[in-house]
Amino acid sequence: MIHDFTYLRPGNVKEALAMLAQHRDGAKIICGGQSLLIIMRQGLVVTEYLVDIKGLDELNCLIYDSRAGLKIGATTTHRTIEKSRLVKEKYPVLVAMEEKLASIQVRNWGTIGGNLAHADAAGDPAPVLIALNATVTIASSAGGRSVPLEEFYPGLFETVLSPDELVTEVLVPPPPAHTATVYQKFNLLESDQGIVAVAVSLSVSDAGICQDARIVLGNAAPIPIRAKNTEKLLIGNKLNEEIFTKAGETAGEEADPVADIHASEDYRRHLIAVLTRRMTKEAWEQACQV
């Protein structure tokens, strides 16, 4: 049962921030609500005010600049990202990720900002965007700040957002030359959340050496995590099957999974090892071709 609340619908971002400042200790942002309303019904979240920013068109955008990269407004829907020719050309992994995210109905209404702010460890966008070295822009009535998405999650279902702040956009930098980013999750149902997921971004030199690596594990810990020991294993080497296998094993050791009704801790580690090996190889092969 959802407890009574006052519904607020601001006309612009400035008005939304003023509402959050006024009701600092008793307001929640809703931007789609497909996750928030569920946990409100479960009694896990109780709020006096619900500030609906879904209709703020100024936060609904996809803009690319060759120097700054891609700006995704917080209220941009998953379906918009999935169907964007611009995104498919510049960041094809984002389209591939969105195609795996829940169902078309969810993607039609759910927003990128709402997904990231919900902070579910099993969410699809965060691992991919962290692998792409994305940052989030945060605003309040007192000003704004940018935070690397990697540092956005202090814990399960937690973010660095203060009660009077909201995410306004996601910034994805242009990928370096000879770089490929791939993503895969393992789930039992096509439209379900992943039991585990792995995003890998690799950069290759002209000499065929791995120059940089970003490996992000999803639902393998309370928050999306970088497999930094695995990354160190790759950087500076010309990769081969032996290294791919070792990378999978190392990532499985770095994971900190929690057992639940879907999978045991050991099974999740096994899946992480398999997916990391596969995704590292796939990213390497793609990076060597671009």
For 218-274, write each residue's pLDDT tens digit: 999 999 999 999 999 999 999 999 999 999 999 999 999 999 999 999 999 999 999
Do 207 and 275 sit in the same domain of this protein? Answer: yes
- Judge if 18 and 113 occupy the same domain: no
| C-alpha radius of gyration, the chain, whole number | 19
Confidence tier at 195 by pLDDT (50, 70, 90): very high
Specify if 11 maps to a domain: yes
pLDDT at 190 over 80: no
- Looking at every residue in the chain, the average pLDDT score rounds to 96
Indicate if the pLDDT at residue 191 is higher than 90: no
* Residue 204 located in a structural domain: yes
Q: Could you tell me if 197 and 127 are in contact, meaning their C-beta atoms sit under 8 angstroms apart?
A: yes
Residue 227, token pair as written in the block: 């497999």
Residue 189 has pLDDT above 90, yes or no: no
Do 191 and 226 sit in the same domain of this protein? yes
Is 210 a member of any domain?
yes
Residue 273 inside a domain? The answer is yes
Q: Provide mean pLDDT across the span 181-189.
A: 93
99 has a pLDDT exceeding 90: yes
Residue 290 scores a pLDDT above 90: no
Last residue of a domain, one of 127, 156, 172: 172
pLDDT computed for residue 257 by the predictor? 96
Structural domain span for residue 228: 179-287
Residue at 220 is within a domain: yes
In a domain, 1, yes or no: no
Looking at the fold, whether 40 and 76 belong to one and the same domain comes out as no
Question: What span, in angstroms and rounded, lies between the C-alpha atoms of 20 and 56?
Answer: 15
Instruction: Check whether residue 90 and residue 165 sit in a common domain.
Output: yes
In the chain, the number of structural domains is 3
DSSP letters for 196-235 = EEEEEEEEE-TTS-EEEEEEEEESSSSS-EE-HHHHHHHT
Distance CA 98, CA 93 (A): 9
Shared domain for 185 and 149, answered yes or no, is no
The confidence score (pLDDT) of residue 263 equals 94
> What CATH code is carried by the domain that includes residue 137?
3.30.465.10
Q: Which of 58-62, 87-91, 193-197 has the lowest mean pLDDT?
A: 193-197
Alpha-carbon distance of 39 to 237, in angstroms, equals 46
Work out the pLDDT band at 101, boundaries 50, 70, 90. Answer: very high
Domain boundary among 172, 192, 208: 172
Give the least confident one: 68-72, 123-127, 258-262. 258-262
The pLDDT > 70 percentage for the chain reads: 100
Same domain, 142 and 84: yes
Which pTM does this prediction carry?
Answer: 0.97
pLDDT band with cut points at 50, 70 and 90 for residue 188: confident
- The CATH number linked to 44 is 3.30.43
Domain identity same for 188 and 270: yes
